[in-house]
Amino acid sequence: MLKGICILPVIPMRQSQSDKSEMINQVLFGESFKILEKTKKWTFIELDHDNYKGWIDNKQYQELEDDNSNVRISNKKSCIIKINKIKQPLLLGSLIPVNKQIRTKISLEEELSFCEMFPFETWFMKICKKYLNTPYLWGGRSPLGIDCSGYTQMVYRFFNKQLPRDSHEQEKKGKEILYLKQSKMGDLVFFKNNNRINHVGIILKNNRIIHASGKVRIDMLDEKGILNIDSKIYTHQLNSIKRLI
């Protein structure tokens, strides 16, 4: 099966074959995918990392024959690489191919080094906070704009845990934690509206939660749900807690 790789900093994945169609997801630099269908302008793809499907513009990727499973994750909030000798930003969480054939094919130039993310507790907080104040964007997965499940998926990526794209699918994973007092930093917490999972965040220490709601922010959490620290109003109703790390 023919494959492809994203060669721009971030590209939209759309519901249908139109620039006006809803953006349902984003593809970051270095993420590869299966090409399921190709038309004159659009390509229907399935992402390798989470099997999410949607349409992308033919002009925004490079076809691929080599295996792209060997990658490095960029844990820098901002840095620069060159593609075809043109500088472009590399966004937090992007994948850098290690395969020499792929690097040559996409004309990648970089000499980046990244910090070892140890100890876990220190680096988990650092990664979570690197996204603080990122504006909420439906379908977003980057520090320029992100949604709630995109945020949790990206944070977990750094710690070798691949989550599904959507919150209701993420909620099916992991070990259930029955009581909030038994939770620990890094647990995922899910919220519901009209009996449907519609929000997810990450539990921090001291009864706090970091989540994407308007922006990536830190609020208070109790058995009822999320208490917005600015408005002092409960914004989300607690449904469940899951442990994956």
Q: Which positions are catalytic?
A: 148, 199, 211
Distance CA 170, CA 50 (A): 11
| DSSP for 58-72, written as a single string | GGGEEEE-S----EE
Distance CA 159, CA 232 (A): 33
Rg (CA), the chain: 18
189-215 exposure pattern, b = at least 16 Cβ within 10 A, e = fewer = bbbbeeeebbbbbbbbeeeebbbbbee
User: What count of residues does the chain have?
Assistant: 245
Cis before 97? omega within 30 = no
Long-range contacts of 13-22 (CB under 8 A, 24+ apart): 13/45, 13/52, 13/54, 13/55, 13/56, 13/139, 14/54, 14/55, 14/56, 15/54, 15/55, 16/55, 17/41, 17/42, 17/55, 19/57, 21/55, 22/138, 22/139
CA distances to 70, 111, 189 from 98, in Å: 6, 12, 34
Distance CA 184, CA 237 (A): 19
